[in-house]
Structure 1
């Protein structure tokens, strides 16, 4: 039974449990590099912080909002003097919300968000376009110092983009304004036109025999040159 005297500390049970959970998860998680590439922590008024505080199971550590498995659901790299998001940025491909405002970013970020299929809110400097432009988002809002891209669209729902995939392939989202064509089961190769599994044995057999034939030809040529001299 916990002490209840005048000098005893009074910590509500839910708050104490949350604190213990936070400390335990902080020790257990190996924090992704992208969360610490910029000094400081997420500000209390940050959009990422507000999103993270909506769910008690989520935790704010450094510049990230993480679930208990260490998956990044929010990333706040605002005001980090970034010219580009950096080589560790793909670690945040599971993020639902990302804040990159107040950075001297280059305008073209189209290929930066490959694989960011879960992203629903992206906050950028005012002079940087949303990746995929307005066609990739349900709403683009302009402010004096930032722009917000919200509601990532699935381009595979567009007839024009779906028709770009071959007959034996299907369209899969690959990030804002991006998609990829995936071959159906039993098909592979260029435009998914080859049927059956890809035979590594045949590939390396052909490669090996070709290499051997070229080697024998070169060896014979060098012998003739040696005899002639």
Structure 2
């Protein structure tokens, strides 16, 4: 199949060109027996809906596509997809678990290299301008408004994370472990159990520097602050 021949609508049928090892998809390649329920425009896969996929080592297993049913059963390496909707996304270090995506370049999904870059995830799908219920472990979230983000196992509400830093608090019930927390709240190395809401702040800090959000025992300037036991 010539992916450069124009618009190719493929629904519920194998896309042979995408299943052959080495065939480029947005400058990269897809390997596997078949791709079902996808729409292909030139070398770009559009509007693919992936449910229940998982990454095992360098292989993507159990990818279910959205129209009507189908799997990419073998291997997907370095796949670049535009408009991918994800369910059950988990970012572990530089790998992605719970999606079909494993590789350095992903367009229109929450993963770009080792970072989550400004791409919205609502609930478990890519739908809106916020991230809700996204698990990020040992990775970076860049420029993403976050609601219900889990960072290092604790809930973070209404914050934006940039690189290894946290920007644009308020943070409610957050446990942020990293070299820096930036913005109107805290600047410095690890801050654990930080809670910030309006002019109130609560923090349990260990060996950290807090700037702008005074914490009892570190800096107090016109805020009601206390330490958590």
The TM-score with structure 1 as length reference comes to: 0.28
Q: Over alpha carbons, which structure has the higher Rg?
A: 1
Give the structure with the higher percent helix.
1
Give the structure with the higher percent strand.
2
The TM-score with structure 2 as length reference comes to: 0.28
